[in-house]
Chain A
Amino acid sequence: MKFFYSLIKKVSYSLLLLLAVIVLNFLLLHIAPGDPVETLVAEMGGATPELIAQLRSDYGLDKSFPHQLLNYILRMAKGDLGMSFTYDQPVVKLIMGRLAATMILVLTALMLAVFLGTILGIMAAQKPKSFFSGFVTLISLAGYSAPVFWTGIMLLILFSYLVPIFPSFGMYEVGSSGNMLSYFLDVLHHLVLPALTLASIYLAVYSRIARASMMDVLGSDYIRTARSKGLSERVVVYKHALKNAVLPVITMAGLQFSQLIAGAVVVETVFSWPGMGQMAFEAILRRDHTLLLGILFFSTLIVIVVNLLTDMSYRLLDPRIK
């Protein structure tokens, strides 16, 4: 019951956050130097004042500010994010077409970072003074300190140009006929470099958290008891300590999901990965406000949902959290 109550509370709070994002979107649209009518008029090479007035009323730009805001919220509530003028298609449709690519990239990178990060962190924690531990620290610092696009470009030069074992761009070979398996392998092949690049930053963060929490756990009474029972080190570490050490990593991963989505913008641009991030950059260059803000809204929506899920699963897993 308590869980149910907190769920309701969390969901309604998330809805409130969404509303705030919509209002922010609307405000940004207003700050923008060119409104849709100005863009149209510029592209038509000028227009008469009458036509401009007509267009303004067509676009509802002659209404009062609160009126426009209300209209905007109502439209968003109906799932209408407007039309993209560069693609001449509904924004929702465009985003849906790109969503899968971004999610594949982001989730793969996330899993890679969490998995590798935890493993590296644990191994380092077992021998904190060793060379290996220092090496992990160094790698994690390097991953964190290098600009992500630079890491990407370096990987491209190395593995797509000097030693061409991975494709340099895109998500799949268009036109290659084949079954599901070969398609899957094709995407996987294209995925390696972008996912590694995106994972590199977060790998650093996660391995440090995992190392720290593992060192904490290994020092606790609970593990000492396990050891004293004569269990092997492997069993102690991977069966008993792991569960406790991995929790903070997952929390952090949930918290940082929005940064991961943002990182995808850069990685997608470097590797021409056909996702939302790449589209966001194009939208900015071509000043397609509707599309850009649609992407901002959508990625925020994803983050909110992920946060909600992390939060709820955490509550289920760990009843001590209120």
Chain B
Amino acid sequence: MADDVKMNEIAAPSRRFLEAWYMFASNKAALLGLGLGILIAGVTIFGPMIYPTDPFEMVGAPMSPPGEELLLGTDFLGRDILAGIVYGARTTVLVGFAATFFTLVIGILIGVLAGFYGGWVENLLMRVTEFFQVLPALLLAMVLVALFSPSLYTIIFAIGVVSWTPVARLTRAEFLKIKEREFVMAERAIGATNWSIMWKVMLPNAAPPLIVAATLGVGVAILFEAALSFLGLGDPNAFSWGYMIGASRDFIWDTWWAVTFPGLAIFVTVLSISLIGDGLNDALNPKLRLVK
């Protein structure tokens, strides 16, 4: 019976999608998250067209408070905070997605291989995963960015390297669950290659929890970028929200707005992602409780 349902799901992905959407749409918090997400996406895509001030440009008197000259005031160099938030959205979102993509690539690859092959392959890969889990992530990311000199590439690389382990474990766990299912057996019986079973049959079935993990992962990556920038390891050629906070942190008593608003932007973005992730979690894996 249970396997029939699974087969149905494969046959009718659209039905499953609709069900998930109804679940999602009935969740007020998730809808709020989605709304915020759309707003942020709007700012990211259209913001610089609507508000074309260059964030690097010193357009006002340094340290002018919000509302005096400019809506959100200026930082210690006289740069427009609002322009920084509008442009910074791009960098921040870019780092969030790129690092998550990198995380997924490593995590899924390792999880799939471990879950599919089992035996010594699994053993070895899971030991590697555990090894990375005991390393304090931010500390390792700091080391990597510092060693390779701060730039968007090194930041994305470092975030990817330190945050793939949950994805790998999740993927492996899903693979172990569905490995012995009939539809996988059936594929084997008709002589499908390991490769195609792994990627074409099993991975799509393991997708729902991975989608949730990936969504939340974007939030985690954004927080990582912010923390690195705050510690002075941001890319000075890219205006990100974390960079704004890091640059102004020496002046928080004089320009609280230069720290507060970018922080608020990060907060709202990550909150929206968390709400969406939770909603997706409830919608896609009603049984599974994802803790992160």
Contact A262 B139 (CB under 8 A): yes
Residues A147 and B267 in contact in the complex (CB < 8 Å), given A28-B143, A292-B143: yes
Contact A303 B29 (CB under 8 A): no
Q: How many residues of A contact B (CB 8 A)?
A: 52
Partner of B291, one of A153, A161, A205, A307: A205
Tell me, yes or no, whether B12 is within 8 Å of chain A by CB.
Answer: no
How many pairs, one residue from A and one from B, have CB atoms within 8 Å of each other in the complex? 130
Tell me, yes or no, whether A123 is within 8 Å of chain B by CB.
Answer: no
Partner of B135, one of A150, A258, A265: A258
Contact B135 A21 (CB under 8 A): yes
Partner of B139, one of A137, A269, A295, A307: A295
Roughly how many angstroms separate A287 CA and B143 CA in the complex, as a whole number?
10
Roughly how many angstroms separate A307 CA and B245 CA in the complex, as a whole number?
34
Contacts of A157 in B (CB 8 A): 252-253, 256
158-214 of chain A: CB within 8 A of chain B? 161, 205, 208-209, 212
Contact B263 A153 (CB under 8 A): yes
Interface size class of B (residues with CB under 8 A): 35 or more
Roughly how many angstroms separate A287 CA and B138 CA in the complex, as a whole number?
17
Contact A262 B231 (CB under 8 A): no
The contact string, 1 if C-beta is below 8 Å from chain A, for chain B 225-263, is 011001111000000001001000100110010011001
Task: Name the residue of chain A whose CB is nearest to the CB of B241.
Answer: A147
Contact A285 B136 (CB under 8 A): no
| Closest Cβ–Cβ distance, residue B219 to chain A (whole Å) | 7
Roughly how many angstroms separate A265 CA and B278 CA in the complex, as a whole number?
28
Partner of A149, one of B135, B230, B260: B230
Contacts of B133 in A (CB 8 A): 255, 258
Contacts of A21 in B (CB 8 A): 131, 134-135
Name 10 interchain pairs, CB-CB below 8 A, sorted by A. Answer: A21-B131, A33-B147, A144-B270, A145-B267, A147-B223, A147-B242, A150-B226, A157-B256, A262-B136, A303-B136
Tell me the B residues contacting A by CB distance below 8 Å. Answer: 29, 130-131, 133-140, 142-143, 146-147, 149, 219, 223, 226-227, 230-233, 242, 245, 249, 252-253, 256, 259-260, 263, 266-267, 270-271, 273-275, 278, 289, 291-292
